[in-house]
Structure 1
Amino acid sequence: MSAPHERPTLAPSLYAYAKGLRDSDPDAPPPRGGHPLPDTAKPPGRRNLRYAEARAAVTAILLPLLDAPDPVRAAAEAERALGATGVVRGQVVFHAAAAIEPPEEPAARARTRTFARHLVRTGTIVPGVAAGLGLLSPLAEPEDIPYLRVLGLLDGLLDPVDRTLAPLDREAAALLWLIHRTRGEELRGLVEALAAGDRAAVSDRLLRLPTEARDMGPEASRRVAEAVGLAGLLRTDPDHPGLLARAVHLLVRMTSSRDYHAEVLRYGEAVGLYETVAAHAHLLPRDVEHRARLLTLALDLRSGPSHLLPWPPGRREELHRTLLDAAARPGPAPADPAGRRRADWIRRTARQLRAAPQDPPRFRIEVAVADPGDPDVVETRFLIHGRPLVPEAFGPGPGESPERLLDSGALRAGPEPREVRLAEAYCTEGCCGALYVTVRREGEHVVWSDWRWPGRLAELPDTPTYRFDAAAYDAEIARAENDHSWTWPARRTARLITAGLRDRPDLLTRWGLRQGWISSDFGQPDTTVVTFTGPPLGSGGRSAAEGEPRQFLWRLPDDGSPPEERAATALRRLAEGDPRRYPELRG
């Protein structure tokens, strides 16, 4: 006998098909990745339809049918027409339908809701159901939740179901996401406990989740927090040290810039969770792990996305001080190098945050260094009127490094306008874009204008033109360029080597070499890495006449000597002979 998903003719709709699969074994855990769609769920596609054309075709079908007097018959006609377009991607159909504004007139609004519900509940192909979900997304009501929870079990419908269900029931939407997207055994155990409704097992599985960044990304952390009702759990039992520590960990992961969105801003209970965490932070052990995470939260409240949460007046500043005080408490001295590195970061960053003005000027630049135990980025942050610019105007990535913006003088306002890249998407500019601004001097003012976000928008109409007093602007740029309080020896060494090569580029160019990136190693932050590219050495120590340029990596571990001495030694060695003889050669 064939499996249920191989007998689609027995299911008159995708909803009935999914419900039949669930009801056939109600005690079974949800399948990894969801149930497969039946073969008939996707009509034959046409490859010549581009994204814009597909959306236009969907809109052209739906708009006239929304005015039909019989919404049930119109929905059936819409599914037939959608199947004939050749558009098979549910997300394209969903976005086209969701872009249609629902009518304001009550009778027309009710008719649109009926039309959408009929597609959702009786649709037999992905385009039909996705169109219904798109139209229903601004009109959905609690009675739609059971249908959405069932449809969300199908592979291929998660994203449109998630967008429609999340405003109604975030816990249910988060569980569906976890069913489809979890990979590790610990997370899978949590999913099964949630699906079974076993609250005791949920708490146990929550405490067993991995703490490595690669295992718990920002979105996964938000979804776990939503699925388990983390803010409510912690309010109920705030003195539980394991639960408190887990809440801190998940909140920290949500603040990471290594994702397509600032997940902490999408977490509806972030303010409440911050409140509970801060109120009980003193209960956590004083080891370097917990102190580093509390300091990460304080840093994000200062100049990261968490600053933008809907805080009551003055409350963000109070929580920032509370978390900073808890993180700065002395604790046991770590014995391992990684622990000592984190302890040094805590001392350096806490001192930096305490020295920063609590009421920043109109334009302020700060460098934020992530916890070296959970390496992320070193980024330049901009506070304008006290608010962080990059997460508010951009979102999918951090600010550029201080080496690119400050050491290079890129932010200085000269007589000619200069376009500057302030931030790049974490997945690279070629994927999700970057944030550019043009800096120019106009008399007694410096102007930031002509914002660009290539890959997303030709211009950013919601980002205003900023005009700064030129003298104050120049003073802030000079202060930021000369502020080394955020740095550490290996990074300081890298900056000094870069400055030396800026003054003497011939140290590399005389060998036909071009300078690459020079910084601290991402995985080993106590090591300085100098890179350059050019022709490899051939026989007899001469440059190879043919072949692609190669990349050379020269690693300089921290030997305890001052950065100025290490940089001078490195530059002296570059001056004494061909630098291709001692670094690592890359393909």
Structure 2
Amino acid sequence: MTATGERNALDPEPIQSRLRALLDHHPDGPLPDAALRQIRTSIAPDHRSRPPSTGTLKERAQRHEAESAAARAELIESIHAVDPTPEGLLEFGRHVRRNVEPSGFASNMGAAEFAMAPGAIRAAAEHLLDTGTSLAEICIGLNLLSLAPRDGDSERIRIFIPLGRRIEGTAIKALGRIGRAGPHLAWAAERTPVYRRLGAVQAIWDLPEREFSELLYALPVKQSADLVQMFSALDSRPEGLQGDRRFARILRDAARPGALEAEPEALALAAQLWDEVRYGRCALLGFAPGEREMTTAGFQALLASPEASASVDAALAATPEDPDLVWLRMRLNRAAHSDPPLPRGLAVRVSVPRPSIATQARTHLLLDGVPLVEAHFQRGHSGRPETVLHDGRGLEALAEPRDVKIGDTGCVEECCGAFRAVISRRGGLVEWEVRDTVLKDPPTTRLTFDADQYDAEVVRAAADFDWEWPARRAARLLRERIGAESELMSRWECELAWTGSWSPDRSEMQYSFYYPKRPSGNDAYVQFSAARDVPYVPEVDDGAVMAVVDRIIADLRTTDPKSTARLSGGSREYAEALGFPWPP
């Protein structure tokens, strides 16, 4: 039997207990994303029972506003009515779990709304956080705890940030209420999977200036350098990043011999910063003359050291399929060789991020060593090689002006715009006119290049595929083979749509195709997708890659690909019209 006020042994394990167990099992670095995703999935609210929305957009908005106000009032009333005994708190937790939606008001309640003693507020908050198994319990518990804080509450709150989504935002707001949030946000950023750090990193950047500076100088060199790298990776370039001397000094110090240990996480940071200082936003920091080159050389020397190789090889021996370790081994291999010096005028370089960042490769366009997109486009990053170098005529300069996308925001251009260059040739010069397309009257920057130097660099960059991982190379070669033999698809009344390898899963090559043809007008169509395993290894074996492509091509000669691929696009109506069952 269960004593009064205690959680039943058959109830789900509290979220806080699950997070603490994860932290104990993984004392350093980001928590495993798969484990966090499992927790998020288990607490996601179920919206399937809701009736469909009706009425105009304005009517739906008004109805939603009224429902939210009523729910807020009911929640506040239930908090006022909490009986702070163990049995009363247990009943309150059940009420929140069963009846309260984790809406935005859960993180916006203020102390003025509660005519309650701080002790009663804390009792309700602590119970929700200690026993909560739902999104609503945690969000409301975090909010209430910040209204009656005590020493140590920031540590209790910050452990929820790595979960992301609404809990992350609520926890960050709660830390802000308590104050002195910087060290706790930095801890949370370091413990959050790399591609989910945006909320914590942005909150650090938004700290009051004095607290921000104190945090930077209080952190160990690795953590402060890691923060600079995180700021550089934000979707939009933070105001003030360009020309910042503090960040330049932090990276200079991190690149000095002995500043970073030759262990995988520190080496991964060094590898990221090596690219960032050479080609990315960190190239724009306030380096004194010669400091940028010295910082770059320092990171490269660490990556090329025997200690780094021994450390990474030992880690790979223990977990040979860890994609971040494979990537790091590739970066160490590259660091062991000197890159060709940047030419005057235009230089094109491709950087490949670690898989856990979940972003694609980027094409950096450097003008006399300064990254062009990063310097002029605050809202996004450099574009992908497929877009910049291989879409149509790539960066080729013709007498007829061509409009080429060279940077994007991570969203579709029709929604969020992009960074574009109008490229043209006039005699012995190539001219660029670059602009941000989302701006109503975008200011334009005009650039000129020596045509011979420009042509040579563009041809070299378009032919350089050393940056590819095996599955990415397989995708390119498959695309080229099918493009050269169109009958491979047309014999089955199909048309190739896409080939590629997503950065987070570099051991898989994917391709998709349309039937009966590419979408046009109101004609019925469906899309199919297929995938092939291509091991992610530090050195690309062209023979093994070509063998994968050859097998796909051989199959296409004899077997209808619709019979083996999965239906992945179109609509139920189109699928049924074309004779295919829509997937459940």
Under TM normalisation by the shorter chain, which class is it?
0.5 to 0.7
Q: Select which of 406, 414, 435 maps to 1:430.
A: 414
Where 2:459 maps in the other structure, the secondary structure is: helix
Q: Which amino acid aligns with 2:292?
A: R
Q: Does the 8 A contact of 1:490 with 1:520 survive in 2? A: yes
Where do residues 27-426 of structure 1 align in structure 2 (5 Å cutoff)?
195-196=177-178, 203=183, 206-207=186-187, 209=189, 210-217=191-198, 220-224=200-204, 227=207, 229=211, 232-233=214-215, 235-236=217-218, 238=220, 244-256=221-233, 259-262=235-238, 265=241, 269-279=246-256, 282-328=258-304, 329-330=308-309, 331=311, 332-334=314-316, 335-339=318-322, 341-348=324-331, 351=334, 355-408=338-391, 409-426=393-410
Give, in whole Å, the separation in 1 of the partners of 2:496 and 2:202. 40
Q: Deviations over 1:437-491 (max 9, x none)?
A: 2222222222223x34332244433x12x22222212211121122122111111
| 1:288–1:339 contact (8 Å) kept in structure 2 | no
User: Is the Cα–Cα contact under 8 Å of residues 379 and 401 in structure 1 kept in the other structure?
Assistant: yes
Call closer, same or farther: CA 1:585–1:267 in 2, change over 3 Å: farther
Which of 555, 564, 575 aligns to 1:582? It is 564
Letter of the 1:302 counterpart: R
Residues 572 and 378 from structure 1, CA distance in 2 versus in 1: closer, same or farther, beyond 3 angstroms?
same
TM-score (norm 2): 0.60
- The amino acid that maps onto 1:522 is S
Give the superposition deviation at 1:338.
4.5
CA distance in 1: counterparts of 2:171 and 2:381, whole angstroms = 33
CA contact (8 A) 2:435 2:442 kept: yes
In structure 2, C-alpha distance between the alignment counterparts of 1:390 and 1:382, rounded to whole Å: 7
- Tell me: CA distance 1:253–1:197, structure 2 relative to 1, closer, same or farther (3 Å): closer
- 2:32 is matched with which residue? none
Distance in 1 separating the partners of 2:323 and 2:111 = 55
> Is 1:533 matched up with 2:514?
yes
1:191 deviation in Å?
A: 6.2
Evaluate the alpha carbon distance shift between residue 223 and residue 186 of structure 1 in structure 2; reply closer, same or farther with a 3 A threshold.
Answer: closer
Counterpart of 1:439 (choices 415, 420, 423) is 423
Structure 1 stretches lacking a partner, 5+ long: 7-16, 33-152, 154-177, 239-243, 537-545
Match of 2:493 in 1: 512
- Contact 1:182/1:188 (CA < 8 Å) preserved in 2? no
- Correspondence for 1:453: 436
Q: d(CA) in 1 for partners of 2:291 and 2:117? A: 50
What SS class does the counterpart of residue 447 from structure 1 fall into?
strand
Compute the displacement of 1:493 (Å).
Answer: 0.9
Question: 1: CA distance between counterparts of 2:315 and 2:229?
Answer: 23
Mark the runs of 5 or more structure 2 residues left unpaired by the alignment. 1-72, 78-108, 126-145, 147-159, 536-540, 570-584
Equivalent AA in structure 2 for residue 571 of structure 1: I
Q: Distance in 2 between matches of 1:397 and 1:577?
A: 43
Given that 1:260 and 1:426 are in contact with CA atoms closer than 8 Å, whether structure 2 keeps it comes out as: no
Mapped partners of 1:566, 1:444: distance in 2: 44
Q: CA deviation at 1:277?
A: 3.3
In 2, the alpha carbon distance for the partners of 1:357 and 1:25 equals 68
* Equivalent pair of 1:352/1:485 in contact (CA under 8 Å): no
Q: Secondary structure at the match of 1:380?
A: strand
Q: Give the TM-score normalised by the residue count of structure 1.
A: 0.60
Q: Could you tell which deviates more after superposition, 303-312 or 575-584?
A: 575-584
C-alpha distance in 2 between matches for 1:206 and 1:187: 15
Residue 54 of structure 1: aligned partner: none
* Alignment-mate amino acid for residue 395 of structure 1: Q
The answer for the alignment partner of 2:551 in structure 1 is 569
Distance 1:513 1:235 in 2: 59
Task: Note if contact 1:420-1:438 (Cα within 8 Å) is conserved in structure 2.
Answer: yes
User: Relative to 1, partners in 2 of residues 1:518 and 1:183: Cα closer, same or farther, differing over 3 Å?
Assistant: closer
Task: Check the 8 A contact 1:264/1:270 in 2, yes or no.
Answer: no
Check whether the contact 1:295–1:346 (CA below 8 A) recurs between aligned residues.
no
Give, in whole Å, the separation in 2 of the partners of 1:263 and 1:347. 33
How many Å apart are 1:346 and its aligned residue?
4.3
Q: CA deviation at 1:299?
A: 0.7
Code of the residue aligned with 1:324 in structure 2: it is Q
| Shift of residue 208, structure 1, vs aligned partner | 5.1
Cα distance, 1:283 vs structure 2: 4.8
Counterpart amino acid of residue 204 in structure 2:
V
How many residue pairs get aligned? The number is 410
- Give the conservation status (yes or no) of the 8 Å contact 2:402–2:422: yes
State which drifts further: 420-429 or 345-354: 345-354
CA contact (8 A) 2:180 2:211 kept: no
**1:468 to 2:449 alignment:** yes
Question: How far does residue 420 in structure 1 lie from its aligned partner after superposition?
Answer: 1.2
Change in CA separation of 1:349 and 1:226 when aligned onto 2, cut-off 3 Å? farther
Give deviations 1:528-556, integer Å, cap 9, x for gaps: 111122249xxxxxxxxx97322211201
Tell whether the 8 Å contact from 1:420 to 1:439 is kept in structure 2 after alignment: yes
Q: 2:472 aligns with which of 491, 507, 529?
A: 491
Corresponding residue SS for 1:221:
helix
In 2, Cα distance between the equivalents of 1:429 and 1:315? 37
Change (3 A) 1:231 1:351: farther
Contact 2:429–2:448 (CA under 8 A) maintained in structure 1:
yes
Matched, 1:555 2:531: yes
Structure 1 324/311 Cα, relative in aligned 2: closer, same or farther at 3 Å? Answer: same
Partner of 1:162: none
Q: Conserved in 2, the CA contact under 8 Å of 1:507 and 1:575?
A: yes
Code of the residue aligned with 2:484 in structure 1: it is D
Measure, in 1, the Cα distance between the counterparts of 2:336 and 2:426.
33
The alignment yields a C-alpha RMSD, in angstroms, of 4.2
Change (3 A) 1:484 1:556: same
Query: Relative to structure 1, is the Cα distance of residues 505 and 337 closer, same or farther in structure 2, using a 3 angstrom cutoff?
Result: farther
SS of aligned partner of 1:364: strand
Contact 2:315 2:325 in 1 (8 A): no
Change beyond 3 A, Cα 1:308–1:245: closer
Structure 2 counterpart of 1:215, one-letter code:
R
| Alpha carbons 1:403, 1:495 under 8 Å: kept | no
Read off the aligned partner of 1:470 and give its amino acid letter: A
2:575 counterpart residue number: none
Alignment-mate amino acid for residue 484 of structure 1: F
Whether the aligned pair in 1 keeps the contact of 2:277 and 2:292 (CA below 8 Å) is yes
Secondary structure of the structure 2 residue equivalent to 1:373: helix
Give the superposition deviation at 1:384. 0.9
The letter for the 1-side match of 2:372 is L
Change (3 A) 1:182 1:532: closer
Which residue identity is paired with 1:433?
G
SS in 1 for 2:400: coil
Measure how far apart 1:367 and its partner are. Answer: 0.8
